[in-house]
Amino acid sequence: MKIIKYLLFLVLILFIAGSIYIATKDGDYKVQSTSLVNAPASLLYNEVADLENWKTWNAWNNLDGITLELSENTSGEGAEIIWQADEIRNGRIITISGIPYSRLQQKLIMETIIGEAEGEILWTFEPEEGQTRVTWTLEGSQSFKEKLAFTLQDRGITEVLQPVFEESIQNLEDNVIASMEAYTVNVDGVTEHGGGYYMYTTTAAKMGEVNEKATEMIEQVSIYMDQNNISISGKPFVIYNQRDERNASTIFSAAVPTPSQVVTPSGSPVLNGYLEPQKVVKTTLRGNHKNAPEAWEKTYRYIENNGLQVDPQGQPFEIFITNPAEVENPALWVTEIYIPVE
C-alpha cells in the first residue's frame, strides 16, 4: 500500500509540476513572412482577399491528403476557407474585415488534440518605391489548454506554420507577377481607318523610350486642351513620323483626337494635325506595351504573307485604348497598331 501511495504522490507531484511548467510557459506566438513584390498593392490585395485564389498559391495545397472547402462567398466579411490534412492540423481561416489595397484581417482556427487554438491574422500591403511590401502575420496568446495541446505535439504552432507562410508568400508573388506578364497579339487584318483631327507634340527618341515619353507628352497635350477648352474626341495615340529600325530610333508625335480643326497661335507648344482616312492593317495587343515589338513583327509578317504593300507615304500609329494610370494590371492594357497599306 505504501508503494502505491508513493506512486500516486509522485504522479501528483509530476502533474502539479507539469501544470506549473505549462502555466508559466510563454503562450504568446508570432508567425510572420514578408516580401517586396514588383506589383501594385491593388492586385496583391485582390489576390489575397478572394479566398478562391488561395488554391493557386497557398503552400497548404502541396501537402499530402489535403482537402479544401470554401464558403459560398469567397471574399469579404465572413468568407471562409476550411482544410483537412494529414501533415498539419485541420483548421479554417475566416475573413473579419478589410481596407481595400491596404490591410486584411482574418482569424485562424486550428484543431488540436484537446480542442481549438485561435490566432489573429493581419495582411498588410504597403507601397514602397514603385513596389509593394506584402506582410502576412499571425499572432496569438495560447490558453493553458492550447499550450498543453502544443506541448504534447511534436511541433509548436510557429514551427508548423512558418514554412507554410514563407512558401505561400513566394508563391503569391510568382502568381501575381505571372498574371501581369500575360499578353496576346492578334492581327485583325485589313480595315479602313477614318482619320480625323488631333492635337499633338513631337520629339525624337529611342524605340525603347517611346512609351515613357509618350505618356508624359500625352498628359501635356491633354492639359493644354483642357486649359484652352479644346474637346477630346477619342483615345490618345502615337504617330511614327519616322522609324529607323536599324538604329532603333524614331521621330514620333504624341496625339489626342479632337472633333474639328483648331488654329493654334504662333509658338504654341501643342499643334493641330489631321490624319487622312486610309487603308490599314490593324493588330491588337492585349498586355504590357513592352511586347509591342512582337506585335509589329507579326503585323509586317501578315502584310508580306498576304501580298500587301506597305504605303511608303503612310505613317504607322498606335492607339492606347486603356490608360495605364487607371488600369494597374499590365495584362489588361490594350494597344491597337495600324500600319497603312496601299
Q: Where residue 336 falls among pLDDT bands split at 50, 70, 90?
A: very high
Q: Does residue 2 form part of some domain?
A: no
Q: Where residue 157 falls among pLDDT bands split at 50, 70, 90?
A: low
Element (H, E) at 13: helix 2-24
Q: Does residue 10 form part of some domain?
A: no
Answer yes or no: do 213 and 265 share one domain: yes
Which CATH number fits the domain that encloses residue 32?
3.30.530.20
Answer yes or no: do 194 and 332 share one domain: yes
DSSP type of residue 50: S
Answer yes or no: do 34 and 169 share one domain: yes
Answer yes or no: do 212 and 334 share one domain: yes
Instruction: Please say whether the beta carbons of 113 and 145 come within 8 A.
Output: no
Answer yes or no: do 156 and 259 share one domain: no
Q: What is the structure's pLDDT at 27?
A: 54
Residue found by looking up cell 501544470 in the block: 19
**How many structural domains does the chain have?**
2
Q: Where residue 5 falls among pLDDT bands split at 50, 70, 90?
A: low
Answer yes or no: do 163 and 189 share one domain: no
Mean pLDDT value across residues 61-71 = 78
Task: Using a pLDDT cut of 70, give the percent of the chain over it.
Answer: 83
Q: What is the structure's pLDDT at 10?
A: 45
Other beta carbons less than 10 A from residue 202's beta carbon = 14
Instruction: Please say whether the beta carbons of 275 and 320 come within 8 A.
Output: no
- Tell me whether residue 130 is exposed, middle or buried, using C-beta atoms within 10 angstroms of its C-beta: 0 to 12, 13 to 18, 19 or more: exposed
Q: Does residue 7 form part of some domain?
A: no
Pairing of strands 80-84, 67-70: antiparallel
Q: What is the structure's pLDDT at 3?
A: 60
Answer yes or no: do 31 and 107 share one domain: yes
Q: Does residue 239 form part of some domain?
A: yes
Answer yes or no: do 38 and 72 share one domain: yes
Answer yes or no: do 240 and 298 share one domain: yes
* The C-alpha cell that represents 243 in the structure block: 522609324
Summarised one tens digit per residue, pLDDT across range 161-170 is 788 888 999 9
CA torsion sign for 281, 283, 289, 294 is: negative
Answer yes or no: do 192 and 166 share one domain: no
Residue found by looking up cell 511614327 in the block: 240
Q: Does residue 43 form part of some domain?
A: yes
333 pLDDT above the threshold of 50:
yes
* The C-alpha cell that represents 76 in the structure block: 469579404
Q: Where residue 21 falls among pLDDT bands split at 50, 70, 90?
A: very low
Which CATH number fits the domain that encloses residue 300?
3.20.80.10
Q: Does residue 16 form part of some domain?
A: no
Answer yes or no: do 130 and 231 share one domain: no
Q: Does residue 12 form part of some domain?
A: no
Q: What is the structure's pLDDT at 229?
A: 96
CA 86 to CA 93: how far, in whole Å? 18
Domain of 330, in residue numbers: 184-340
- Tell me whether residue 240 is exposed, middle or buried, using C-beta atoms within 10 angstroms of its C-beta: 0 to 12, 13 to 18, 19 or more: middle
Give 144 or 241, the one with higher predicted confidence: 241
CA 142 to CA 150: how far, in whole Å? 9
Across 26-35, 113-122, 169-178, 238-247, the highest mean pLDDT is recorded for: 169-178
Could you say which of 157, 181, 205 is where a domain stops? 181
Answer yes or no: do 130 and 242 share one domain: no
Task: Using a pLDDT cut of 90, give the percent of the chain over it.
Answer: 64
